[in-house]
Amino acid sequence: MPIIIVIVLLSIVRHFEIGPFAHFSWWWIAGLFGVAFAWFEFVEPLLGLDKRRERRREDAARRERVRKTFKK
């Protein structure tokens, strides 16, 4: 996710030509888009990071349901 934030910030700064990024090539930003795409499509599933994150959310939701059920 941090790479997405960097891409957005670099795009905004480059678009408004602020500071040293005024002459920054758009190809660097496009390259970062490629890196982000490769990360989210290939590397993250390969390492199982997407499934772990999903499992954590499901476990948290299950614990919350149990807590609400037995609290009454």
Query: Can you tell me the mean pLDDT for 65-71?
Result: 91
Contact between residue 30 and residue 14 where contact means Cβ atoms under 8 Å apart:
no
> Would you tell me how many other CB atoms lie within 10 Å of the CB of residue 69?
8
Q: How far apart are CA 26 and CA 6, in angstroms?
A: 14
Up-side HSE of residue 10: CA atoms within 13 Å toward CB? 17
Q: How far apart are CA 4 and CA 32, in angstroms?
A: 9
Q: In this predicted model, what pLDDT tens digit does every residue of 5-61 receive, in sequence order?
A: 999 999 999 999 998 888 889 999 999 999 999 998 998 888 887 788 889 999 999
The position carrying tokens 């490629």 is 34
Q: In this predicted model, what pLDDT tens digit does every residue of 54-64 receive, in sequence order?
A: 899 999 999 99
